[in-house]
């Protein structure tokens, strides 16, 4: 498979110095389908992130299946988080994407803890869960199923039209748990969007995804 054939070893001359700071690295992968992007697959110990005390956000927990984002929005506030891995906040944030390949299994362990109180969980707070990588890795279906089965309410904020793929699963999950969906649309000018958000779907495609979600019974923000 082409996907397998493009594996980079951590001691390869093409490897980044910062790879040593990526915990539980399994492998680094490049593929022609995602030209210019390297995926660093990791085994996550936990999926849930607790929001720090004093935060103004209306939720206490988040899940980020990816770190870094190929949407490449120039204004993204999450860019500095890549510097913790000795990767830069510019091009590396767009092209060096950390993939928590076992995030659904890690989440199920988190949710099975006796102390878990089924508090609201937010996705899309740091990097987009429906960025292009999701088309390959398909992490969101497992996350959605785990949250729904544990009766944990959750929300998804995205610019990605891949959410449309999961609408049947989300519709089923909404029968047992509260789900909130939101589509981020900041720019309506196509030329400006291609400059400011070069890796995102078009505004028209995002609006079509909103329409599909509304047709499926969701009140999309």
Is the predicted pLDDT of residue 5 greater than 60, yes or no?
no
pTM of the predicted protein model = 0.90
Return contacts of 36-41, CB within 8 angstroms, 24+ apart.
36/95, 37/70, 37/94, 37/95, 37/96, 37/97, 37/132, 37/133, 38/8, 38/95, 38/96, 38/97, 39/97, 39/99, 39/133, 39/136, 39/137, 40/96, 40/97, 40/98, 40/99, 41/99, 41/101
Mean pLDDT in residue range 105-116: 98
- Extents of the domains making up the chain: 2-215
pLDDT, residue 56, reads 72
């Amino acid at each position: 498979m082409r996907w397998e054939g493009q594996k980079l070893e951590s001691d390869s001359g093409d490897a980044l110095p910062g790879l040593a700071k990526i915990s539980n690295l399994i492998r680094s992968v490049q593929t022609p389908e995602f030209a210019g992007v390297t995926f660093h697959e990791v085994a996550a110990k936990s999926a849930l992130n607790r929001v720090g005390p004093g935060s103004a956000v209306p939720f206490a927990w988040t899940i980020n299946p990816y770190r870094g984002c190929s949407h490449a929005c120039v204004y993204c506030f999450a860019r500095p988080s890549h510097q913790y891995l000795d990767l830069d906040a510019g091009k590396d944030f767009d092209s060096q994407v950390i993939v928590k390949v076992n995030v659904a299994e890690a989440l199920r362990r988190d949710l099975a803890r006796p102390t878990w109180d089924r508090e609201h969980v937010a996705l899309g707070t740091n990097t987009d869960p429906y960025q292009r990588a999701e088309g390959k890795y398909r992490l969101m279906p497992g996350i959605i199923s785990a949250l729904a089965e544990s009766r944990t309410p959750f929300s998804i904020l995205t610019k990605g039209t891949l959410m449309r793929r999961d609408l049947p699963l989300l519709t089923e999950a909404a029968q047992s748990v509260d789900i909130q969906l939101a589509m981020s649309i900041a720019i309506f000018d196509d030329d400006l969007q291609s400059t400011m958000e070069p890796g995102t779907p078009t505004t028209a495609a995002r609006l079509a995804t909103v329409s599909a979600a509304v047709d499926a019974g969701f009140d999309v923000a």
